[in-house]
Amino acid sequence: MSPTDPKPITKTFPPISQHDPFTTDHNSIAADLDGTLLKSNLSFLYYILLAIEAGSLIRGLILIFSIPLITLTSIFISEQLAAKILIFITYSQLKMSNIEHVSRTILPFFYAKDVRNDSFEVFDMCEKKVVVTANPVVMVDVFVKEWLGGDKVIGTAIEVDLRTGKATGFVKEPGVLFGELKRLAVVKEFGDDVPDIGIGDRDTDFEFMSICKESYIVPTDHYARLVSPDRLKTQLIFHDAYQALPPSSMITYIQLPFRFVTSPFRCYFNVTLVKGIVKSIYSRSWSWWQEA
């Protein structure tokens, strides 16, 4: 049976703790990102961080207050549409150069603090490593390749206005990668030589996991052990993202001390405070739906 005509999807997969490194082939792997290679499956935080750093505080606040709408759209209409709304608010009319800069210098710093040890161990053993994610490729490509050692990211493609160099906020066909679209993307990448291992954390990953030779579920575990920073392919001792900008004038040197002083406050707002707000709004939306 070929990957294009896959076997019926098995709703139960063994947990990743049952992976046996001595009996499993490790030639290739297809892995989800949020909730799988990363401990957190709440991707809102990274979108908000991107919206603030590549756009403005106002854009970040708009995105935060849109969380109830996005959550309800995901529950009552479709996860695909909810993801498109999230991407549109985050990316619309942002310069691609700003998006790429944030994705290279800021997001990896925070992604790297959330890598699960158990799933990364399996991922790192394989020769060909492919990440299959609903996230925009531009958002995670640098992190996956330079920090996790991945070979390729299969994800959502963002439309760009070539005249202005800005993202339109819309996604290219076939759309946001969920479910069947993930399976088709894996088939296109691997052909008949399906991945030896597939790992994911929820039902939207089951489609591509079902065509892999062996598949493992990564159960949600808020206390899961994280990867030691020295295990990643890129190490970072101290990083102030704005300092990564190439110095082009005397103003840059004048600003550096102020950026150094304000960086802890920026990090607190962008990560700790925003994360708390996001979780609060998300849980309230979910409670409201259950009571309705």
The DSSP string of 190-244 is HTTS--SEEEESSGGGHHHHTTSSEEEE----TTPPBPPGGGSSS--S---GGGG
The domain tally of the chain equals: 1
Spatial CB neighbours of 162, under 8 Å, sequence gap ≥ 6: none
* Structural domain boundaries enclosing 147: 16-238
Using pLDDT thresholds of 50, 70 and 90, give the confidence band for residue 44: confident
Does residue 64 form part of some domain? yes
Does residue 178 form part of some domain? yes
The mean-pLDDT minimum among 38-52, 192-206, 245-259 falls in 245-259
Does residue 271 form part of some domain? no
Does residue 23 form part of some domain? yes
CB atoms within 10 A of CB 254: 9
- pLDDT tens sequence across 130-188: 999 999 999 999 999 999 999 999 999 999 999 999 999 999 999 999 989 999 999 99
Instruction: Determine the pLDDT at residue 258.
Output: 46
Query: What pTM, to 2 d.p., does this model score?
Result: 0.78
Does residue 283 form part of some domain? no
Residue type present at position 71: T
109-126 b/e (C-beta count within 10 Å ≥ 16 → b) = bebbebbbebbbebbbeb
Contact 125, 23 (CB under 8 A): no
Does residue 287 form part of some domain? no
Does residue 278 form part of some domain? no
Q: Spell out the alpha helix ranges (H) of the chain.
A: 44-54, 57-65, 67-76, 79-91, 96-105, 107-111, 117-125, 137-142, 180-190, 206-209, 250-267, 274-291
What CATH number does residue 110 fall under? Answer: 3.40.50.1000
- pLDDT tens sequence across 70-94: 989 988 999 999 999 999 999 999 9
